[in-house]
């Protein structure tokens, strides 16, 4: 049976993961409650289609993490493709394989014009998933992913006296109103509301800070010490700042990286945004990565290449950190 995933599929899903991927015993997805949180606590909803036998065994899955978003000033939902699998020897094959059938059912169930479904689905697929997705599921290349990398001791940080940075244990009540104004500078951006950020980051080892000026919010940063692209980095998972808060937040991130014993800061930002250049002025340098951003638009008003030039995204939008 090909159907939507259900809460009581957890045990079967984790067995399928173990059979398909090499998961460490301490993998985050195997921790109590993590699977349910990932699929059923997301404020943007649930996106997952599975193929299962009558005895409950899961043979294939095509899944995504939905994200509330703004698209040309109106509400939408984007979905990042994640956790797609076919249990070895049971779901693989050519373009008519079980995996492809599940992927097509997923697209039919969730993709659609804005207001009728998710207008944009995207991800960073591994080589095999990219091959199948391009041939059978409508994937298109959006751009090769670039990174911004800076040695902590090489940063040239200029702090404006007006900006005050405070590291917090919870996201502030003022965040929603600030984001509602800040997001208007972008044609496309996923939610940085308090509910979305708490689901994404709370209780999971991230550090986050806000910059204020005269009591008004001026910037948000979320960081984490993590292994990515073959090295240990202090990652700027979220980086949404006004120009007069940039230096103060960079100074905070620099000190946080030093406290963690990490030598480099690391970020993904779209090449067209203001901070892609501003961080280079501060000492970051552009590096290639092994990742290629791909996607599928289900609304012809916004072609995949449009997202390359208009969608503001960071590593926090992904499940890679």
Give the CATH number, domain containing residue 108: 3.40.630.30
Taking the CA of residue 301 as centre, how many other CA atoms within 13 Å lie in the half-sphere pointing to its CB? 8
DSSP conformation class of 105? H
Please indicate, yes or no, whether the overall pTM of this predicted structure exceeds 0.85. yes
Domain count, the chain: 2
Write out the residue range of the structural domain in which residue 296 sits. Answer: 146-317
Burial of 265 (0-12, 13-18, 19+ CB in 10 A): buried
Percent of the residues in the chain that have a pLDDT greater than 70, as a whole number? 97
- The verdict on 306 and 167 lying in the same domain is yes
List pLDDT tens digits, range 223-237: 999 999 999 999 999
CA angle 20, 24, 29 (to 5 degrees): 75
Residues 47 and 66: their CA atoms lie apart, in Å, by: 7
Instruction: Answer left, alpha or beta for residue 213, where phi above 0 means left and psi between -120 and 50 means alpha.
Output: beta
pLDDT of residue 267: 98
39 and 102 both lie in a single domain = yes
Do 299 and 160 have their domain in common? yes
CA 55 from centre of chain: 34
pLDDT tens digits, one per residue of 117-173: 999 999 999 888 888 888 888 999 999 999 999 999 999 988 766 789 999 999 999
């Amino acid at each position: 049976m090909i159907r939507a995933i259900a809460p009581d599929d957890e045990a079967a899903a984790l067995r399928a993961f173990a059979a398909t991927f090499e998961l460490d015993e301490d993998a985050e997805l195997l921790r109590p409650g993590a699977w349910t949180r990932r699929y059923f606590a997301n404020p943007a909803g649930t996106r997952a289609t599975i193929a299962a036998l009558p005895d409950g065994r899961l043979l294939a899955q095509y899944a995504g993490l939905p994200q509330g978003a703004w698209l040309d000033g109106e509400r939408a939902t984007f979905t990042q493709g994640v956790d797609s699998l076919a249990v070895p020897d049971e779901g693989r094959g050519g373009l008519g394989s079980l995996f492809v059938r599940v992927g097509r059912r997923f697209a039919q169930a969730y993709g659609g014009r804005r207001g009728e479904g998710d207008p944009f689905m995207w991800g960073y697929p591994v080589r095999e998933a990219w091959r199948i997705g391009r041939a059978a599921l409508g994937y298109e290349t959006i751009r090769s992913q670039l990174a911004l990398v800076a040695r902590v001791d090489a940063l040239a940080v200029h702090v404006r006296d007006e900006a005050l940075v405070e590291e917090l244990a919870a996201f502030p009540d003022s965040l929603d109103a600030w984001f509602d104004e800040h997001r208007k500078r972008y044609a496309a951006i996923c939610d940085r509301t308090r509910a979305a950020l708490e689901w994404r980051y709370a209780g999971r080892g991230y550090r986050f800070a806000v910059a204020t000026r005269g009591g008004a919010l001026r910037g948000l940063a979320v960081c984490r010490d993590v292994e990515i692209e073959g090295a240990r980095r202090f990652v700027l998972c979220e980086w949404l700042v006004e120009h007069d808060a940039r230096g103060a937040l960079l100074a905070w991130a620099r000190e946080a990286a030093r406290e963690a014993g990490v030598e480099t800061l690391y970020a993904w930002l779209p090449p067209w945004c203001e901070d892609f250049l501003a961080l280079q002025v501060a000492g970051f340098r552009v590096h290639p990565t092994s990742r290629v951003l791909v996607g599928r638009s289900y609304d012809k008003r916004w072609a995949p290449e449009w997202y390359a030039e208009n969608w503001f995204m960071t590593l926090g939008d992904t499940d890679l950190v």
